[in-house]
Structure 1
Amino acid sequence: MTTADSNERFAQAPGDPYRYGVYLRPDPVTCTAVTAVTSQLRAQYGLVSAGAFPPHATLVGSRHLPGPVEETIDAVTRAVADVPAFTVHNAGVRRQGVGLVYDVHHLADGITPNTAFVDLAARIDTAVAPLETPAPNPSGNPFDADTFQAHLSLLSHDMYERPDLFAEVEEYVSGLPVPFSDSFPGDTVTLYRTRSDDWTGRWWQTLTWEHVYTWRLRHH
């Protein structure tokens, strides 16, 4: 299939070129840290993929939900209605996949998975799955509790194109004087609508997004 054929099929799909993500928003200090790191990587190396999004930890990501957005809001509202806020621990910068992240998947020991995080993602996945329809592209982002890793992206898809830069960028990030919170309340869940001209290719170069809705988890 040619790029033109792919784009034509893409344009005809209901709800395209939009995708939806449900994210946990960190505290303001951590959001500032993420923005500082990704802004520095853009300024120094032209790396933009992680900074193309607002600071967030993905609960469910890049879902094709072509129905009325109110259906998604209602589904997630029901899913989080009885979910308490929990403590998120930030273990600092770690390698993940081809990039770098703040590791927020574990408890304070840095080893034990934070089951409250995984359970929240599973609840939301269950809520939105009936609203999802197949999209021509890209491949889906199915939730898997066994492989889910809560994280805040600092460096991501650009490394598929510039793997030669990884060691230098990792050293650069380690030297940035950017403070972050060791822990913060996991109490803010957000829905974003994202758009790209071509989800099959370098989607991060044309990505735009819009905040749609915020839920606050209850505190004890």
Structure 2
Amino acid sequence: MHDEALRPGERARDVGDPYRYGVYLRPDPRTCLAVTTITTQLRAQYGFVSAGAFPPHATLVGSQHLGRDEDAVVTALDAALEGRPGFDVHNRGVRPSGVGFVYDVHHRADGSPNAEFVDLAAAVDAAVAPLRLPMNSPQVHGFDRAGFLAHLSLASHDLYERPDLHDEVGEFVTGLDVAVPQGFRGRTVTLYRTASSDWSGRWWRSLVCEHVATWTLD
């Protein structure tokens, strides 16, 4: 058996397409409500869909190409998370981040990085690293301790297409004045299967997320 020749401009398909996997820290229900309130309003006002395409979450590792053996992924995470304690997460409120806006949950109330959050992301990345497969798109999202920034996305990839709306969207999000807890206990880790018809392009326009498993720390 041989692979069919690719047409000009066509990318090679990856084993396991169209699936990618994400491991997330889920906030408390009230914070989830605040996130979805904002993303729903951004969709209604501007047609933005990227942040709202996902369940409310802080990414530990995202867009992982792990094939289709979900039992192996769950087993690896079972081992990594067993006996691991939860930790306190502080929400510093809406902040600009990259092209968009997020709730900053990376820093403690005193402004220092939350080392327990970073350690959890490192442990999750180490657990799935042996299962990671090469992929053509999107880019591999490996863990970088220095670059890791825990956040809850409110407005994201849509602003790559509409950078002219950046300041207006920031004012809109702030003006919504959505009530949100100042923090929560970080204790719920989730695994999601994601699929898109075009990982090489505007994948968020066709993204589908399916829950696979949940772990409770503490």
C-alpha deviation, 1:67, in angstroms: 4.0
Q: In the alignment, residue 168 of structure 1 is paired with which amino acid?
A: E
Q: Identify unmatched segments of 5+ residues in structure 2.
A: 1-5
Q: Which residue of 2 aligns with 1:5?
A: 10
Q: In the alignment, residue 119 of structure 1 is paired with which amino acid?
A: D
Q: 1-side partners of 2:7 and 2:209: how far apart?
A: 27
Q: 2-side partners of 1:127 and 1:76: how far apart?
A: 6
89 and 68 in structure 1: CA distance in 2 versus 1, 3 angstrom threshold: same
Q: Which residue of 2 aligns with 1:20?
A: 21
Q: Which residue of 2 aligns with 1:190?
A: 190
C-alpha deviation, 1:20, in angstroms: 0.2
SS in structure 1 of the partner of residue 10 of structure 2 = helix
- Deviant stretches of 4+, over 4 Å: 1-4
**Equivalence map 1:53-64=2 (5 Å):** 53-64=54-65
SS in structure 1 of the partner of residue 189 of structure 2 = strand
C-alpha deviation, 1:173, in angstroms: 0.6
Q: Identify unmatched segments of 5+ residues in structure 1.
A: none
84 and 202 in structure 1: CA distance in 2 versus 1, 3 angstrom threshold: same
Q: 2-side partners of 1:58 and 1:87: how far apart?
A: 16
The CA RMSD measured in Å over matched residues stands at 1.2
Q: 2-side partners of 1:19 and 1:197: how far apart?
A: 12
C-alpha deviation, 1:4, in angstroms: 5.8
**Number of residues of Structure 1 aligned to a counterpart in Structure 2:** 213
Q: In the alignment, residue 134 of structure 2 is paired with which amino acid?
A: P
C-alpha deviation, 1:82, in angstroms: 2.3
Q: In the alignment, residue 183 of structure 1 is paired with which amino acid?
A: G
177 and 74 in structure 1: CA distance in 2 versus 1, 3 angstrom threshold: same
Q: In the alignment, residue 206 of structure 1 is paired with which amino acid?
A: S
1:33 pairs with 2:34: yes
Q: Which residue of 2 aligns with 1:181?
A: 181
Q: In the alignment, residue 103 of structure 1 is paired with which amino acid?
A: D
Q: In the alignment, residue 172 of structure 2 is paired with which amino acid?
A: Y
Q: Which residue of 2 aligns with 1:213?
A: 213
Q: Which residue of 2 aligns with 1:167?
A: 167
Contact 1:21 1:193 in 2 (8 A): yes
**Equivalence map 1:82-161=2 (5 Å):** 82-109=83-110, 111-161=111-161
Q: Which residue of 1 aligns with 2:201?
A: 201
156 and 2 in structure 1: CA distance in 2 versus 1, 3 angstrom threshold: farther
Contact 2:66 2:132 in 1 (8 A): yes
Contact 1:89 1:184 in 2 (8 A): yes
Post-superposition CA distance 1:15-46 (Å, at most 9, x none): 01100000000000000000000000000000
SS in structure 2 of the partner of residue 191 of structure 1 = strand
Contact 2:63 2:138 in 1 (8 A): no
TM-score using structure 1 length: 0.94
Q: 2-side partners of 1:77 and 1:94: how far apart?
A: 33
Post-superposition CA distance 1:165-206 (Å, at most 9, x none): 011110011110311110101000000000000111000000
SS in structure 1 of the partner of residue 116 of structure 2 = helix
